[in-house]
Structure 1
């Protein structure tokens, strides 16, 4: 996966993370993932870079999560959660920064500083 910030301009944490990177002179391609959703394979790679299972990047408190009848303990496989994320990018945690073959979730924004070391 190429270096980028998976960004939602309507999200305050995403904007704060982008600002934090800019203040440190880090300019990354911005991928507005709601407009350019990630494929299932890209999501799988992203989870590998983060070192987490797909459920870990699902926004379970998002209203859409409940509207879809989803539950953390529904027995879905990793592949099924990747399908959910690919079909409903709004459920993906944000922002996520990918830099030099590593990734971090910008919640809080300071989490991404570990990628700069």
Structure 2
């Protein structure tokens, strides 16, 4: 089943959800600010995305700028920072089987559904 890691307050995330709704596919909504993925889950998502952890970080967030920007962090430290501060996770993330995309732009979701 398709999963969307969703933040209802984010316009891109809402647009991604709309794409899934129009697709007619069954999907599960994971409000990741409420149900935070574990370090293991986030590592698996990053692997499916084919990116490094830093590429999933929202570097414009205040939390990042005040606590992490400019520091030498390992991949595991970056993942831990995202789990501790889920607002740092780029959104929306859509997973279909073992394929995943960050819905920026939202239309990129179409490539895996």
Between the aligned partners of 1:47 and 1:59, the Cα distance in structure 2 is 14
Instruction: Using structure 2 for the length normalisation, give the TM-score.
Output: 0.95
Q: What is the SS of the residue equivalent to 1:29?
A: strand
Out of 95, 107, 112, the residue aligned to residue 109 of structure 2 is 112
Note if contact 1:3-1:101 (Cα within 8 Å) is conserved in structure 2: no
Q: Which runs of 5+ in 2 are unaligned?
A: none
2:57 is matched with: 58
Instruction: Using structure 1 for the length normalisation, give the TM-score.
Output: 0.91
Runs of 4+ aligned residues of structure 1 deviating over 3 Å after TM superposition are none
Number of aligned residue pairs: give it: 113
Between the aligned partners of 1:25 and 1:12, the Cα distance in structure 2 is 21
Q: Which runs of 5+ in 1 are unaligned?
A: none
RMSD: 1.2
1:32 is matched with: 31
1:93 is matched with: 90
Q: What is the SS of the residue equivalent to 1:93?
A: coil
